[in-house]
Amino acid sequence: MPTPFVPVFTPAQARENHDRLLQRREVFRRKGIDLAASRHRLLTAAPPYEPPILEIGTGNGHLAIALAAAGHAFVSVDPDAEALTRAAMNLAAEGFAANATLYCMDASVMPFPKESFGTLFCVDAFHHMPDPAPILASMDRVLCPGGRLVLSDFNADGLAIVAGIHREEGRVHENHGMRSEWVADRLRRLGYAVTDHPAPHHWILVGVKPMGPLFPPFPFN
């Protein structure tokens, strides 16, 4: 098994970092996107969420906080050590440090055992992926039969708002244009039962992995 990512920081650093998170949420809220509410809405899409739970794309910890607040323990992975450190500080500031086990890794080559997670979340990450196919394949490998994939990202309206926020800040928001239709089609090709749960600024897909091979051997006996 890989070694968990455990950053070192002071309580004061955690509080300062968490203040920045709240300020960022307020920027988005004023533009019409409530980041905290969107995560809580996501958790109502298709429960129950069987453990072990894996989150791909920790970011600043928005979903991690929502998962912890709902009482879940979980694993969360991200390739960016700085983002993981910010997420760890935000979880600590809200009293949820013990809920999360963090790993700094590429989600396309996760070293977890095959079929080792009951639920997998990935939120607001697909538009950052030039080619999500390897990551979807990795998700499928580590998800157990009957397990749920809960995948979500900004829709066209949400992406326009995010791009506008970045533009006002003198930055360009990365967007590779990945659409929910492509993700849903890819999952169905793998045999998943896929349902759509649209939200005001997000698309949400829930995929249930088949219990056995898509094409089982012919029963000769």
DSSP per-residue string spanning 45-92:
SS---PSSEEEE--TTSHHHHHHHHTT--EEEEES-HHHHHHHHHHHH
Q: Are strands 74-78 and 117-123 parallel, antiparallel or unpaired?
A: unpaired
Instruction: For residue 41, give the nearest of 123, 114, 159 by alpha carbon.
Output: 123
**pLDDT score of 45:** 85
**pLDDT score of 216:** 42
Q: Which sign, positive or negative, has the C-alpha torsion 128, 120, 49, 207?
A: positive
Give CA–CA dist 119/49, Å, rounded: 6
Average confidence (pLDDT) per 10 residues, the chain, 221 residues: 93 98 97 94 90 97 97 97 98 98 97 96 94 95 96 96 95 89 95 94 96 50 34
**pLDDT score of 84:** 98
**pLDDT score of 215:** 44
Long-range pairs, 158-164, Cβ under 8 A, ≥24: 158/33, 158/200, 158/201, 158/202, 159/127, 161/28, 161/31, 161/32, 161/33, 161/201, 162/28, 162/33, 164/31
Domains with residue ranges and CATH for the chain: 11-208 (3.40.50.150)
DSSP H helices, the chain, are 11-31, 35-42, 62-69, 81-93, 133-142, 156-168, 180-189
- In angstroms, the first-to-last Cα distance of the chain is 41
- pTM, whole model, 2 decimals? 0.92
Give CA–CA dist 18/25, Å, rounded: 11
Q: Which residues does 219 contact at the CB level (< 8 Å), separation at least 6?
A: none
Q: What is the DSSP letter of 107?
A: G
For 112, other C-beta atoms within 10 Å of its C-beta total: 18
**pLDDT score of 213:** 59
